[in-house]
Structure 1
Amino acid sequence: MYKVMIVDDEPKLRNGLRTLIPWESIGFEVIGTAASGKEVLRSLDTQLPDLLIVDIRIPGMSGLQLIQEIRTLGVPMRYVIVSGYADFEYARTALQLGADGYLLKPVNKDEMTSLLINVREKMEQERQQQSSGRSDPPSKEWLIYSLLSGSANMDQSTVQDMAMEYELSWPEYEVVLVEVRGEGSRNEAEIHRFREQLADLFNRQKRGVVLDTAAYIAILLKNPLEGEEERLELYQELQHISGELRPYITIAAGGKVKQLLEIRQSYTASQSLLEKSFFYGQDAILCPDSFTASLPQGTELDRCELPDVQEWGFRLFYLIDVGDGGYLEPLLKDAAQIYMNKGCSEQEVKEAFFQMINEVIRRISAKTWHDANLACSPAQFLSSIYGHHTLARLIEDVLSVLEKLSIVSASSGQHSEIKKMLDFIDRHYAENLKLETLARMFNYSSAYLGQIFKNKTGEYFNTYLDKVRIQKAKEWLAQGDKVYEAAEKAGFSSVNYFYSKFKRYDGKSPSDYQKKAKN
C-alpha cells in the first residue's frame, strides 16, 4: 500500500475525498489529512506519505509553495493538485514542479481514480528501479533532514559513506535552530527570503547547511560554536540578515556532537531550549551551557501556592491607586517566579497575567488611564500580553504601563501612607478590605501597621472601616433605600451583622434612624 495525505482547508472536502475514492482497492492508504502547508511540514517528522493530494488554495502557503518546500528538503514524494480555479497557469506551474496531475473541483470520482492508478504504476516502476540499483541517490538535504527527524534507517557505515559523498565528513557538528514567532510567522515571503540568504551565505562560505524543518530554520554548523563570543557573533549576523523578522526570531544551539549520525541529539537539545525560551529568552543564542534563568531564583517563593489572580490583581491595583509604584516590580516578579517554580506553561502564565491585569483595568478609572497618556487602549494592552516572546519582556512592558498609572494616582497630593489608606478606604469601603492585605502592600507586618493606624486616627482599622460604612449607609437610608440595600451597598456581609454594628455605633436600629431621617 502506498501512503496518501490529503491537504485541504475545508473539512468537508477532506472527508469527502477519503470516502469518495476506493483507496485500498487501487493500492493506497490514507494515513492522514491536513488543513495547511505548515501542518504537513510538521507531520513529516513522524510520517512520510508517498503521495500528497493538495489544494492550491490553503492558508499560510499555497499548495505550489508547499511542493517547493518539500522538494527543497529532498523528500521523495509525488503530488496531485486539486483546485476550484480553472487557471492554466496553476496547472502549468504544478506540472513544472513535477505534479502528476491537476484536477478541478468538484472532483470526478472516475477521473481521480484513473489518475491515481497511473500514479501507482509510476511509483511501482520507481521501486523496481531502486531494487535494481538504478534509482537516483537522495539529496544532501534529504540525508540531513532524515537524521534530524529520526526517520533515517541507516547504520553508521552507511551514514559515513554518504557523508563522504556529500562532503559532510567534518570533525564535529552542531545544530542551530531559528524559530520565527508571533506576527513574523505570518510573513511567508520574508521567511523565505531570510532562509535563502542564510543558505547562500553558509554554502558560499562552506560553514554548513541550511534547511527548513517545518517549525524551524535549521543550520548544521561545520564548526560548532565555542564560547560566548562566537555565539554573540553568529547572533548578530543572523539578526542582521533577518531584516523585518528581527523582533520575532529566537535562536538556540544544541551543543556539539562528534558524528553525523548524532546530530539529532543536538537538534532535540536545541528544540528543548526553544520550548523554554519564553522563560529564559534573552538577546543572545540560547545554549545548554549558558541556560540560566532571567529572573532571580526564590527561596520562600519555592513553597508558595499559585497566586490567586483576583487577589494579586487587587494588590497591583491598590499599589497603583495609592501611588506606590515602587512595589509593583517585586510583586510582578514574585508572581512570575512562583509560576516558573510550579512548572506552568507559557500559555498558563500569560493567561494568569491577563486575568491579573484585567482585574487592575476594570478598577482603574477612565480618567486615570487617559491622564497616563498611554499609547494603547485598555483592550489593546490586555491583548498584547499574549504577544510577548519572553517572560522578562512581558514583565517589563506590563510594569511600564502600571508605573505610569501609579504616577498619575500619586500626583493627587496624597503624601503619607496613612493618608493614602484613609483615602483608599473612603473610595473602596464596600470591598473586602483587610488590614493584612494593606500591610503586604506597604511591606509592614499587620500588627505594626495596625499600631500606626491607631496612633494616627485614634481608631483601630476595623472600627474605622465600620464607621465609614455606617456613615455611607446612613446617606442611602436617608435617600429612601431599604435596609438590606443600604447594607449591601456599604459592604456588610449580612443584614443582621449590619443591624448589630449600626446599633452599636449609632445607638438605634437602621429602621429607627430612617424613620427619624424622614421626619
Structure 2
Amino acid sequence: MFNILVVDDEPLICKGLSNLLASSGLDIGNIYTAGSGFEALDCIRMEEVDLLVTDIQMGAMSGIELMQHAKLAKPWVQTIVISAHETFQYAQMAVRLGAKDYLIKPLNSEQFLDSVRNVLLKMDRPSPELAGFIAGLGESFRLEEPLPAYSELLNRLLTDPAAALGSEEDMRKLDELRLQGPYFAVLKIKLPLPGADSSTKYSPRDRGLLRYGALNIAKELLDQEWSSTAFYSPGEEITVIIQWDEKSYEEAGGGQVSRLDVLGRSLHFNIHKFLHLNAVIGISQILKGLSFMEVLNRQASQAILWNKEHNDHYVFYYGDFNWSSYTTEPSAEELHTRSNLIVQKAKEFIDENYAQKGLTIHEVAKKNHVSPNYLSYLFKKNTGHNLWEYVIKLRMEESREMILHTDLRRYEIAERVGYESPEHFSKIFKKYYGISPSELKK
C-alpha cells in the first residue's frame, strides 16, 4: 500500500483531493495533508511517504523548494505538481527535479486520478529494459555491451585526458557524444560482486548480468533529469560523466552538489530494490573543462574508499572529507576526531537555532561544509538518533516548559519554537508526547 501527502495552502483543495483519493479504489494506505511547505517537510521526515502531490505557489516555501528539500530527505519520494498557472518556467523546473506530472487547476478528477494511478503503478516496476533483464536471467537473455565504440575512449579520457584530447579522431567521437560541458562531475558505482574466494559466488555471466542491470537502472534515473553518459569501467565499475552547460550550471545556483548527492542515494536505493545489492557510490567535485577528467575520476574512486571506514554507509562525496587538512592518508583516530567535531558543531548550531522558522538540514550541513547526506549519517551514528529528531526534541522540550510554567497562548508558543501554525505545532506535540498541549495544560 502507498502513502500519499497532499500539500496546498487552500484547505478546501487539500480536503477535496484527499476525499477523491480515499474513494478512488487505489492501493492507498495513509493520506496525509499539509497547508504549507514546512508542514509537508515535517511530514516527509516523520512519516513514510511514497507520493507527494503539491501546489507550486504556497507563500514562504514554494512547491519547487519543497521538492528540493523532500529529495534531500528521501530521494525516492515521487512528485506530482499542481498549479494555477500554465507557466513553462515552473513546469520546466518541476520536470528537472523529477516531477512525474504537472497538472493545471482547476483539476479534472479523472485526469488527476489517472496521473496518480500511473505514478503508483510504475513505482514498483522497473523500466522495460530492466524488466526484460530480470525476466530473462536464463541463457536466452542477450547481453549487449553499452557504447561499444566509445567505452574505450571514455575510459582513456578518465585516465589520460591529454592523449584523448590531443587526437582528432577522439575529439570527433567526443563531439558525437556531445560531451561539451564545460562543467563536469564523475560518479562511480561499485557493485559488491566478490570473486571465487568469497562465500558469495557469482559466475562470470551472473556478474555481467548484474552489472548490466545496474547500468540500466542508472540510465533510467539519469535520463529523467541529467545530461550524462554512463558506461562500463575496469574493475567492474560503472562510471557516469555528468555535464552542465553555462546556462544550466548558473540556473542550478549552489545546489548542484546536493542534487548529485540525491542522485547517488537514488542509485543506491534502486539498485538495492531491484538487484538486492548494496552498491557503493563515489561522487567527485564539479570542475570546468574536459582536461580535469583524470582529477574527477580519481576523486570519485577515492570517495568510494571511505566505505572501508564507514561500511554501513554507501554514498560518498569527495568534498566531505577535507583532504587538504592531511599531508598523508589520515589515521582511524584522525577520522574519528574529525567526525566527532562535525557532529559537535552541528549540535551547537542546532542548539542555538532550533527555534528558527524554516530551519533545514541543508542549512546545518552548509555551516559544517559537508553534504546533508553525510552529516545525517554521522549524526545518527554518533548520537543514536537522526538530526531532525534532535531538532524536534529541543522544540518539544522547550514548548512543554512554556505550557507548564507560562501563560503564553498556543500560537505564541508555536511561534517561539519555530512553527508557522498552532495547528501544526499541536499535531507534532501530540505525536511526540501522546497528549495535546491543551490536555497537558489541564
Question: Which has the greater radius of gyration?
Answer: 1
| TM-score between both structures, scaled by the size of structure 2 | 0.42
| TM-score between both structures, scaled by the size of structure 1 | 0.36
Q: 1 or 2 for the larger relative contact order (CA 8 Å, sep ≥6)?
A: 2
